[in-house]
Every structure is written in structure tokens, then in C-alpha cells.
Amino acid sequence: MNPHGLLAHLNPSQQAAVSSFADTLAILAGPGSGKTHTLTSRTAWLLAQGLQPWNVIVATFTVKAAREMKERIGKLIGNGMESKLVLGTFHSIARRYLARYGHLIDIKKDFGIADSADSLAIIKRIIKKNNFIIDAKITRSRISGKKSRGARYRDKENENTSGAKTVEAQEFDICYAEYEEALKRSNLLDYDDLLLRCVDLLRYHPSCVSNVEAVLIDEFQDTNIVQFDLMRLFAAHRKRVTIVGDPDQSIYGFRAAEVKNYKRLLKMYPETVTIALEENYRSSGAILLTSLNIIEQDSSRVAKSLLATHAVGTRPVLRRLCDAHKEAEWIITEIQRIKGLTGELLDLNDFAILLRSSALSRLIESALGKAGIAYRMVGGLRFYDRLEVKTILDYLRVINQPDNNDALARIINVPSRRIGESTIKSLLEEADESKITLWSLILGFVQGKKSAKTKLPKQTDQGLSRFVNIILTARGKLTAPEEERMTMPELIKFILLKTDYETWLEEHHSDIHKARWANVEELITQATDFQDLVSCSYEDESLPQIDGLDQDEGPDHLSRFLANVALASEVKNDEGTATAQVTISTIHAAKGLEWPVVFIPATYQGSIPHSRAEDTNEERRLLYVAMTRAKALLYMSYPVKNSQSELTTLSPFLCATSLAPLLDQRGPSFRSSTVQTMAQILRRALPSATSISKSSAFVVSMEDDIFPLNGEENKDEKTSRWNSMAGNPSFTMGQQAPKRRRV
Ligand code: ATP
Ligand code: MG
């Protein structure tokens, strides 16, 4: 791999960042300035310098972003070594370390992951059992909030020292303690535990990361204190850290993300070299200018410069509709119109509808459905949360780890084994009292070693033994010698066969059983893909092998499959489908991504800023993130009445008088000529962009003379610049600036 090639298409600041010899590097810049692009290029550059991929950790925020990064690095290095990088979300990286080294801190190897639905179910059960008055969802987010700040339930933070506790506070404390207890008993870690326990692991056993040469982090502004600690511990040996971020896009304050982490970084690594990137390569001038106008309303913000490299283009539209139905219809009409006007240039993949909350999606989904427009949901009801899929996954969870009380309780009577809700409840209570798991309890009396206090109907016995048998047989097949071992798809088929699940679906969900069965088949397809993947590469090979420490008994496919499922929470469920689809996403899940055409509906007070949001500035940043996803066309809209038929007012963020001339408020005024002109500009890809795909042709500058992307022309100049950088580690900026357009 040629390091010069890696720098060829970058601007001088990006080049400086990619090839910097500084140990700690912070790249702080606005949206669309190529931060992620720079981070992937730097990863490739470090590999070109001779670092081994398994010694490099790259952490990002969403599963989708991680996948895209891996692909981008793959394209840059072209030797397939990207699969050996320790690359993923913080959670997935932490899981990998815990799966391999968790035994060092008493975590059982086959631990399961409680996703947020599992956590909620456990908390609900505790609240019900104790007749508490506290709300389950609020309790879950309070527990998660504490853990995200690094607190454990025994910590001082949880002790109320200022006199008597309220009933709620007492109930919360009990609930928190019992929740932790329940997780432990079921050998589960929740999302926050994955990070906290990995911090424990690395703090007490730093040798697990003694091989790590470099740590690179995207979307640093959204890291919380625990993730910061993890970064520091990963980098404990070589102290080589690159972070990229944008404080203006910090949108996870509600999950304890801390913009202060940048200050912490400077304190911890005083030699940090900070580099700014000032050109925006994503959005048209008009979109960028309007977005900047909004973020600048926040007077507490540190100003930074961001210049458009694209033509001004068309003003963003702000449209008022009489109600949410009309708003949804208008969006669909516009999608069809723009698609019609731009012909081949755009397909449905190029459109996104970004929502402040997923509750807004229902009307839009049904309008798209009516119009026959294919769409994908990101961050909505997950594929894995669908009843039939969850049931099969619960079987897999129990097979992987029978101590998982909640999963076991959900499937013990699916299909029916004549064990009613109240029986399950008293079995759970009995297990709780005896301080054993539900599995141990039922195993005890199925094997005749113990009689249960809970009275079971006679017919239940047989069903229960068959159930126990399915689980035990499947477990046996998983630990069998390699030739006899079941693959993931075989295991799922085994469960379906033994439980006669298709018949059960037909009987219990006759109206939609076909759709439900299709989801089961989709799960088998996913399992097959997964199996193919693990058969050709076992990703954990990239973790260090430490003599005497490593007691890994080999790949455990089932727990890895389940972990993938649990950690794929934000990922859309129909990834990789061939048909073009409009994306519907929450704004949070759209972070880091881009589309040629973006719609942001419901831009009214109460929706954005959200009525329950505590931090107005964070809500403004959310709108800014949403707007800056758009490359060419941006539509914002709001209904006169909200879903409760109350009159709405426009979001205060969009009310400023300075915004009026920047927005097109007259309605959908894109005439065909306007769109066609724009399409022509967008189609005019630069010479260096010939290999860029159709939709990413929007990525490149719209004017050939704006920035010399053509590497050939400037080869000599670039080579000498690279050499001078190599000799000058503190090189940051001030190189020949690209010609650019001020907005
Ligand atoms: P965000 O803050 O939204 O995550 P970002 O700063 O990470 O944005 P990228 O996603 O890396 O920005 O880049 C935005 C777009 O600009 C991408 O399509 C990328 O390929 C393109 N891009 C980045 N740098 C250049 C460049 N030097 N020349 C042309 N296009 C570029
Ligand atoms: Mg990015």
C-alpha cells in the first residue's frame, strides 16, 4: 500500500491529520468536513506505516457507521486486512474483550447481553413483585444514567446522605439492587455493564491490551465518561490516540455524553495536536448557510469556521401543512415529483425522512405504503423485537445460557405446555426464594430430584420434560466435536422442528402467520450469512494472545451470534436489500450519514425542541445534525395541528428573522427547470471521482475549479508536502488553502 496514494484526494488539513506523527491528535470540525473520511484514511495510513491491524482499535458509535468505516478502510488498503482491525462500536469492542478475558474478573464466558427491552422486562417484574409505585421506564433510564456516569449501585453516589429518603428513592434503591442481582443470577450484562466491566478488566489486567499501538475514535463528542476511560485504558501502553468530533453535533447529553471529554483529553495528553477542517464537502451552500445560521443561535457555543465547497443551490423549503396526514402526503408527493424530475440521477435510496422521535413515523409509513414506495426503518421497531423472531432468539438465549430467567419465562409456554402466566410467576418466585435460577428449579423436578412447591397440572409434566429435552439436546449439539456440531441455521431449524413452531404460528396468528413465518425465514438467512462469515474468519483472532492468560476454548458461535443481534440495536433490519428504499430514521440514528434529499417533518415547538427535553441547546444541535445530513435538497415541514389536534407553532429555532430570506416558505417551489439545473451540476463529477458510485457523485465539489482533487496534477507538490510533514511531526495547517466559496 502506497501512503502517498492515501493522501492524494485529501485537502491539506486532512493530509496533515492523516499523516501526523503526533501521538495524540484531535480533529475538531463541522459536519461534512471529512472527519470520518480522515479517520479512515489515518487508520489506513497507520497500517501503511507498518502497524498490524490487530494492534489498532477503531471505535465508533453505531453499528452502521462501524460497518461503513470497515468498508472504506478496506477500499483504501485493498488487501483485506481491515477485517483484522479491532473495529466496532464501543459496546461490541468491550464485548469482545469480555468474551475473551472476562474470566479474569469472574465473568462467565457464556454471559448473555440484556438489551434494553430485557432490562425493562426485569425492572417491570421487580416493580410488580414488590408492589412499587415507581415507573419502570424512568427507573431503567435512571439506572442507565448512573451507570453511564460510571457509578455502581454500591457507590456513594447512590447513598442519600441528606436525611430521610422519599418512598420513590427507597423503591429505586431496592429496584436497582434487585436488578443487579437478577442480571447476575441470569449471567447477563446490560449495555452499560459491557463498558463498565471492560473498564474493570483493563484496570486490573492491563496486559490484555499490551499489544495496542493506536486507538482511533469517531464522534468523540458523544462519548461518556466510561467510554473515555475505556479509550484511555486501551491506549495505556502506547498513548497513541486520534479522536474526531464536533461539539456542535453533541446529541447524547441525555445519555451522559460529555463534551468535557475534550478538555479531559487535553489534560491527560498535554501534547495533543489539534487540527481543524474547514471545508464542507457534503451540502449545497444554501443548506450549509441555513444550518450554520441555526447553530449560531447558541451563544454559548465556540464559533468555528465552515466553508461550502459546493454551489449555493436551492434554498431549503419550510412548509406548513394543515395536519400531519397532509404533511405525510406532501412528503410522498415531493419524493415522487423530485424523482420524476431528476430521472435516473436519483433512486429511492437517495431520500431520507428524519424524525425527532420514532412515534412520528406511523403516518409517514402508511402514506409511503399506500403510494407503493419501498422504505426501510432505522431505529424504529427492530426486526429482532418482533414476536416470532424474539421467541426464536429466546430459545437460542436459553440454549446458550439456561440461567437466563427472563428468556426462559417467555418461552416456557410457547408453544403451549399448559403452563399459565400465574404458574410461571409462582415458579419464578419459588426460584427467587430458593436463590436458584428458574432453569435449575425445573431441571430439578423434571429429573425427579426435587419436587416443586408450585403445583403443576399433571399434563404439564410431559410438556416440560420435552422442553428441557430440546434445550439439553441443542446444548449437546453445540459442544459436540466439530464434525457433529450444529451450525447456526441448523440450530434454528432444530428448534422450529421440535416445537412445531410453524403450526403454532398458524393456529395462533392465522391472519398474519405468513408474514411472521417470513420473518423466521429471514432470521435463518441471517444465521446462514453469519455462519458463512465465521467459517472464513474468526474475528476474535485479532485480539492479543497472552501467554497463560488466554483460556479461550475456541469460537463460540452461538454467543457471538446473539451478541451481534443484541448489539445491532440501531441497525436497520433489512440491510443489504437490493431494492432501492426511502430511509425513515430517527435523527439520532442518522448521525454521521448523508443523503441527497432530506425531509425533516414536525418541526414545531414541542416536537423539536421536544416537550420533554431538558436541554434546548441539545435540541437545536439535533436539528442542526438533521439539516446537515442533506447534500442537495432539504425540506422541513410542520402541521398546523399536532396529533392531539392542538394548534402548533413553528419551532423557535426556525423563527429567527435572519432565517426568513434563507428559507423558501412559499411551498414546493422547485420547478422542473430548477431541479434539472441542479441535477446537471450534481452529475458533473470531477475527473478523480469517476469511480465514485452514482449516488455519491453528490459528494464531490460541484465546480471543477474549486479544489484540485486530481492527484496526478499535483503529485510532486503533494509528495514533497508529505515528506515535509513526515519530518515535522507538529505540522498542522497553513498549507496552500484550497480555493473555496464563502457562504
Ligand atoms: P459528520 O460530522 O456529519 O460525521 P464528517 O466530517 O465525518 O461529517 P464525512 O462523512 O467524512 O464528514 O465526509 C462528508 C462527505 O464529504 C463524504 O461523502 C466524503 O466522502 C466527502 N469528502 C470528505 N473529504 C473530501 C475531500 N477532500 N474531497 C472531496 N470529498 C470529500
Ligand atoms: Mg462523520
Please tell me if the domain spanning 296-379+574-697 has the same topology as the one spanning 383-535: no
Q: What percent of the chain has pLDDT over 90?
A: 40
ipTM of model: 0.99
* pLDDT of 636 strictly over 70: yes
CA 60 to chain centre: 8
Higher-scoring residue by pLDDT: 123, 686: 123
CA 248 to CA 259: how far, in whole Å? 10
Q: Give yes or no for residue 10 CB within 6 A of ligand 1.
A: yes
pLDDT digits (tens, 9 = 90+) for 654-672: 998 888 888 887 755 556 6
Of 655, 587, 592, 639, the closest CA to residue 618 belongs to: 587
- The residues carrying an active-site annotation are 35-36, 218-219, 249, 629
Which has the minimum average pLDDT: 244-253, 410-419, 442-451, 584-593?
A: 442-451
Q: What phi and psi values does residue 633 have, to the nearest 5 degrees?
A: -125, 135
Kindly report the protein residue whose alpha carbon is nearest to atom 29 of ligand 1. Answer: 700
Place 121 in a pLDDT band, splitting at 50, 70 and 90.
confident
CATH of 383-535, one of 1.10.486.10, 2.70.150.10, 3.10.100.10, 3.40.50.300: 1.10.486.10
pLDDT recorded at residue 218: 96
Q: What separation in angstroms does the CA of 515 have from each of 67, 130, 401? A: 28, 39, 29
Mention the CATH class of domain 296-379+574-697: alpha beta
Whole-number Å distance, alpha carbon 18 to ligand 1 midpoint, is: 14
Q: What is the mean pLDDT of residues 474-490?
A: 85
Whole-number Å distance, alpha carbon 145 to ligand 1 midpoint, is: 32
Pinpoint the alpha helices (H) of 80-166: 90-101, 116-130, 136-148
Give, as one character, the DSSP assignment of residue 302: P
Place 709 in a pLDDT band, splitting at 50, 70 and 90.
very low
Highest-scoring range by mean pLDDT, 380-389, 409-418, 665-674: 409-418
* pLDDT of 380 strictly over 60: no
pLDDT digits (tens, 9 = 90+) for 214-247: 999 999 999 999 999 999 999 998 889 999 999 9
Residue 323: all three cell numbers together: 395536519
Higher-scoring residue by pLDDT: 364, 244: 244
Give me the helix-helix angle, 501-508 and 513-536, nearest 10°: 150
Whole-number Å distance, alpha carbon 15 to ligand 1 midpoint, is: 13
Whole-number Å distance, alpha carbon 39 to ligand 2 midpoint, is: 9
Contact residues for 212 (Cβ-Cβ < 8 A; gap 6+): 55, 56, 57, 86, 234, 235, 236, 237, 238
Is residue 409 marked as binding? no
* pLDDT of 251 strictly over 60: yes
Higher-scoring residue by pLDDT: 544, 720: 544
Give the end-to-end CA distance of the chain in Å, rounded to a whole number. Answer: 38
pLDDT recorded at residue 538: 41
Whole-number Å distance, alpha carbon 353 to ligand 1 midpoint, is: 21
pLDDT digits (tens, 9 = 90+) for 7-46: 888 999 999 999 999 999 999 999 999 999 999 999 999 9
Instruction: Give domain limits for the chain.
Output: 3-102+196-277, 116-155+165-184, 296-379+574-697, 383-535
Give, as one character, the DSSP assignment of residue 35: H
Q: Where are the beta strands (DSSP E) in 15-123?
A: 24-29, 56-60, 86-89, 112-114
Q: Give yes or no for residue 12 CB within 6 A of ligand 1.
A: no
Closest-lying ligand 1 atom to the alpha carbon of residue 10:
27
277 neighbors 38 (Cβ within 8 angstroms): yes
Of 292, 233, 219, 304, the closest CA to residue 262 belongs to: 219
Kindly report the protein residue whose alpha carbon is nearest to atom 2 of ligand 1. Answer: 31
Instruction: Classify 636 as helix, strand or coil.
Output: strand
Place 630 in a pLDDT band, splitting at 50, 70 and 90.
very high
Q: What is the mean pLDDT of residues 433-438?
A: 87
Q: Give yes or no for residue 281 CB within 6 A of ligand 1.
A: yes
Closest-lying ligand 1 atom to the alpha carbon of residue 699:
18
Residue to substitute in 282, 598, 686 for testing ligand 1 pocket (most ligand atoms within 8 angstroms of CB) = 282
Q: Give yes or no for residue 11 CB within 6 A of ligand 1.
A: yes
pLDDT digits (tens, 9 = 90+) for 277-329: 999 999 988 999 999 999 999 988 888 889 988 888 888 999 999 988 899 99
Q: Give yes or no for residue 13 CB within 6 A of ligand 1.
A: no
Residue to substitute in 11, 281, 741 for testing ligand 1 pocket (most ligand atoms within 8 angstroms of CB) = 281
Place 704 in a pLDDT band, splitting at 50, 70 and 90.
very low
pLDDT recorded at residue 554: 34
Architecture per CATH, 3-102+196-277? 3-Layer(aba) Sandwich (3.40)
Residue to substitute in 71, 699, 701, 705 for testing ligand 1 pocket (most ligand atoms within 8 angstroms of CB) = 699
CA 496 to CA 470: how far, in whole Å? 11
Kindly report the protein residue whose alpha carbon is nearest to atom 18 of ligand 1. Answer: 699
Place 713 in a pLDDT band, splitting at 50, 70 and 90.
very low
Q: What share of the chain is helix, strand, coil (3-state, %, to 5)?
A: 55, 10, 35
Burial class from Cβ neighbours inside 10 Å (0-12, 13-18, 19+) for residue 430 reads middle
Average pLDDT over the chain reads 80
pLDDT recorded at residue 398: 93
